[in-house]
Structure 1
Amino acid sequence: MSSVLSPRNAKDQPRTTKSLSDSSPTTPSLTSRGLKHERLSRLDSSGAYDREAYDARRENRMAARKKAEEEAGCTDYKKMYEEAMSTNERLKSRLQGSKQELVLVQTQLEKVTQRKITMTERSNERSMLEKEKRIQTELKNENQRLKDENGALIRVISKLSK
């Protein structure tokens, strides 16, 4: 048994057919050439006019299909454009909201930083004031001691001068 592979349509799918010697007398052998011939013979049965009408109808069908595909393509592009524009607008509004939120967070951060600086400055001022107060207390104590010592010396000098 030998088999012959012949291309079928544009899909190039293999088709096996039996050779004339292998086929039974009840099954006719079918080849792509034979099928095409049968189709043409059916078309030519009424004459050349039918062939022209068939070709015209076929061209009309192809043109209508092509036009429908183009229209569908245009609507698809229009729909895609509208979707892209709506997405773009939505993202723009989100970006604007994010920018406003960023400005708000930055101002809050600046306030907190200022408070921290102010608290640090206050802490430094407090420690400086405590230091000055301690020095002032020490100076008052020393001043009082010197006054007492000066008073004692004055008494000693006054006793000696008598």
Structure 2
Amino acid sequence: MSSHLSSRNAKDQPRTRKSSTDSSPAKPSPTSRSLKHERVSRLDSSGAYDREAYDARRENRMAARKKAEEEAGCTDYKKRKITMTERSNERSMLETEKRETRVLQKKISDMEDEVKVQTELKNENQRLKDENGALIRVISKLSK
């Protein structure tokens, strides 16, 4: 029974903390401060977890990491060789597309010219038919 009382007394007494010199430095490290700040800032004004803010910060961190990697440059030779090959392929495709575009534009202008000539020929053909009909009427009147 005395052991039961002693454990009960131990529970009733407040726990003591280690002194700051025994466990850790007086000031928290910058990393622990930023983690604590991040944990606190995940909560909105009502104290609920703010998922949107957390996702936005996460995307910002990922974008910053990606930007840093791009600025550092591609250190892998194979990746660099692949990107160079892709770029040259893109350039050749672009040049090919430009040539094809020029050829198609030339064909379009040629076809437009042909359409104009055909229209003129149709108009002239109609004029000649009308004139021919008028001449036939004149000849038929003279022959009577």
Query: Under a length normalisation based on structure 2, what TM-score does the superposition of the two structures give?
Result: 0.46
Point out which structure has higher relative CO (alpha carbons under 8 A, 6+ apart).
1
The structure with the largest alpha-carbon Rg is 1
Query: Under a length normalisation based on structure 1, what TM-score does the superposition of the two structures give?
Result: 0.41
